[in-house]
Amino acid sequence: MKYLVRAKVKEQEREKLLQEIEEKTLGKGSVAFGEYLKNMNQARVLDDGTVTWIEICFCHKPLNEEKPYWEKFFQNITIENAQNPKYCQDSTGDQKRACFECSCTEELEEEMLSWGKPFILQHSKEKIDV
């Protein structure tokens, strides 16, 4: 499933978060390790300082694996479906792990480009290669 995540960076953890992004160690030890940098590359900062991104997760409970990593750096985390689960091939059992190849959230991802500013570009000189 794909989820829309919204959260605020903990100010006391901002530098550590940016350091882990720069060093490409964000989420190290997680089965979803590579996805963390991808998420931050796509993340947008809204006018109120909220960071938002779309995340793929196959846990029974949304972001069960990822949430402890995000909670180190973010607060007020909200997670909602990025699309209606009844149309998700992974959720319906039609095709396991379909989210990696599915374009179901293209419209939302396109719309998000107009939301605020890119998180990474706002905090570093260039996009992090993942």
| pLDDT tens digit at each of 130 positions of the chain | 788 999 999 999 999 999 999 899 999 988 888 889 989 998 999 999 999 998 887 777 888 889 999 999 999 999 998 776 666 655 555 556 555 666 666 777 788 889 999 998 655 545 544 4
pLDDT on residue 94: 59
- Spatial contact of 37 and 26, defined as CB atoms under 8 Å apart: yes
Does 77 reside within a domain?
Answer: yes
Residue (of 44, 40, 48, 45) closest to 18 by Cα position: 40
Does 129 reside within a domain?
Answer: no
Does 130 reside within a domain?
Answer: no
Overall domain count for the chain: 1
| Cα–Cα dist 11/122, whole Å | 15
Does 88 reside within a domain?
Answer: yes
pLDDT on residue 129: 46
Does 128 reside within a domain?
Answer: no
Does 13 reside within a domain?
Answer: yes
| Cα–Cα dist 128/8, whole Å | 20
Does 21 reside within a domain?
Answer: yes
pLDDT on residue 102: 65
pLDDT on residue 31: 84
| Cα–Cα dist 49/29, whole Å | 28
Does 27 reside within a domain?
Answer: yes
| Residue range(s) defining the domain that contains residue 30 | 2-123
